[in-house]
Amino acid sequence: MALQTASMLPASFSIPKEGKIGASLKDSTLFGVSSLSDSLKGDFTSSALRCKRELRQKVGAVRAETAAPATPAVNKSSSEGKKTLRKGNVVITGASSGLGLATAKALAESGKWHVIMACRDYLKAARAAKSAGLAKENYTIMHLDLASLDSVRQFVDNFRRSEMPLDVLINNAAVYFPTAKEPSFTADGFEISVGTNHLGHFLLSRLLLEDLKKSDYPSKRLIIVGSITGNTNTLAGNVPPKANLGDLRGLAGGLTGLNSSAMIDGGDFDGAKAYKDSKVCNMLTMQEFHRRYHEETGITFASLYPGCIATTGLFREHIPLFRTLFPPFQKYITKGYVSEEESGKRLAQVVSDPSLTKSGVYWSWNNASASFENQLSQEASDAEKARKVWEVSEKLVGLA
Ligand code: NDP
Ligand code: PMR
């Protein structure tokens, strides 16, 4: 199997933007005292060659395992005339930690799903799967770096070579750089939060839509993880800096931070805002998929806010004091806290619960952990903006 060299190289680099001034909440509050991380290095280790070898072996193994892709989703057992469902195949991006890993565990342990862990760091994913106790036959790891469009395309090729049908795609991976003073960029030159969280997933979803369409699984789903902090109709969404995509002038300029702004709205760089903006794009993309493809394909498109999983790696770039105080703050003050395990069960519900098949929905959970259809903010449900984000994004990722 051929692997592009590019998919094994660091996919992000950082350039300082001149003349950056401007202070924001992140510079001055307890929850955001700035300590610029020096660790935008990605997780590409000197073991890249070993990864490559292992990936070859793994994908080889997958091909052997799935040598009979023609198995229909529903089999009729001849003796009893009973219908049985084959295991579903679910791709989870960023399954090496946090919500993604917890969801992989919940789905794999249900015995109904084979999980394809789409991860940028193969060895980290392998260790995570092992320590979470995933049984070997229930998962496959495939390399995917969302901060590189080449890597996204390579992942899709590799996945297709495995000959597994695709039944559900979960766009879960994300990065968050709240203390960054200057933007960093993906391999293709996009500001890294929107480039990874939105544009990488946008290309992945557009390409894998074809594979989802081909699946004969009874309930096919494409899920994008959203968040409360991108929704300005909530208290959490009103903590500055607030999400705001403006007229998309920065996005249209490619978020390069050179001749155009690194921010979607064209404003000064703010890492926390870039993350929240990327979540708005995620939620808008889900709805645009729904409008364009639900009726024709029957695929369920959904997003969700899984609760505040205050202990995950998402906050790894935040200052230590934040990481210490954030979990008790969410547990005892906002009461928005949810454990990684519980959040994984919630996302697993969105993947496979027969009562959550409605398309175009943004799911949330109440204090009793019951799911409900939540209301998106005005901006995150603006159909015209969703169309524009879609059209600009497809140009940026080379689909139009
Ligand atoms: P984690 O940091 O634990 O997980 C993020 C995952 O994304 C990791 O596996 C990480 O890989 C992966 N990832 C990051 N960059 C890339 C990339 N370039 N290519 C491929 N994978 C990448 O955070 P969470 O589990 O908290 O976040 C999961 C999702 O949940 C995100 O979409 C986040 O926005 C959302 N969310 C989280 C909330 C929370 O409170 N934590 C609340 C609301 C939503 P690696 O392990 O290699 O770093
Ligand atoms: Mg929040 C009900 C109130 C609530 C909830 C559910 C969250 C979730 N937050 C709430 C309130 C507040 N937060 C308040 C009142 C404050 C000011 C003290 C506050 C602050 C705060 C900070 C500085 N909160 C944060 C941060 C972050 O850096 C996190 C963030 O925005 O990441 C993007 C965050 C979060 N608060 C949440 C959730 C779920 C997050 C992080 C995860 C995310 O949106 O992906």
Distance 229 CA to ligand 2 centre (A): 6
Marked catalytic residue, from 275, 305, 337, 362: 275
Q: Which ligand has its closest atom nearest to the C-alpha of 281?
A: 1
Distance 278 CA to ligand 1 centre (A): 13
- Summarised one tens digit per residue, pLDDT across range 130-175 is 999 999 999 999 999 999 999 999 999 999 999 999 999 999 999 9
Q: Tell which atom from ligand 1 comes closest to the C-alpha of 99.
A: 25
Confidence of residue 35 (pLDDT cuts 50, 70, 90): very low
Query: Structure tokens of 226?
Result: 């959203």
State the DSSP string of 232-283.
TTSSGGGSSSPP--TT-HHHHTTS-SSSS-SSTTS----HHHHHHHHHHHHH
Q: Tell which atom from ligand 1 comes closest to the C-alpha of 96.
A: 9
Cα separation, 67 vs 94, whole angstroms? 26
Question: Is residue 205's pLDDT more than 90?
Answer: yes
Angle between helices 201-214 and 383-396 (to 10 degrees): 100
Q: Which ligand has its closest atom nearest to the C-alpha of 28?
A: 2
State the DSSP string of 159-202.
HHHHT----EEEE------TT-SS-EEETTS-BHHIIIIIIIHH
Question: Is residue 379's pLDDT more than 50?
Answer: yes
pLDDT for res 295: 98
Is 275 annotated in the active site? yes
Sheet holding 371-373, edge to edge: 139-143, 113-119, 88-93, 168-171, 221-225, 300-304, 361-365, 371-373
Q: Tell which atom from ligand 1 comes closest to the C-alpha of 43.
A: 47
SS3 157: helix
Instruction: Tell me which residues have their CB closer than 6 angstroms to ligand 2.
Output: 31-32, 176, 178, 227-229, 235-236, 239, 272, 275-276, 308, 334, 336
- Summarised one tens digit per residue, pLDDT across range 263-316 is 999 999 999 999 999 999 999 999 999 999 999 999 999 999 999 999 999 999
Return all residues near 8 (Cβ < 8 A) that are at least 6 apart: 44, 48, 49, 51, 52, 143
Confidence of residue 352 (pLDDT cuts 50, 70, 90): very high
pLDDT for res 77: 61
- Are the beta carbons of 170 and 106 closer than 8 angstroms? no
When the pLDDT of each residue in the chain is averaged and rounded to a whole number, the result is 86
* 371-373 vs 361-365, strand pairing mode: antiparallel
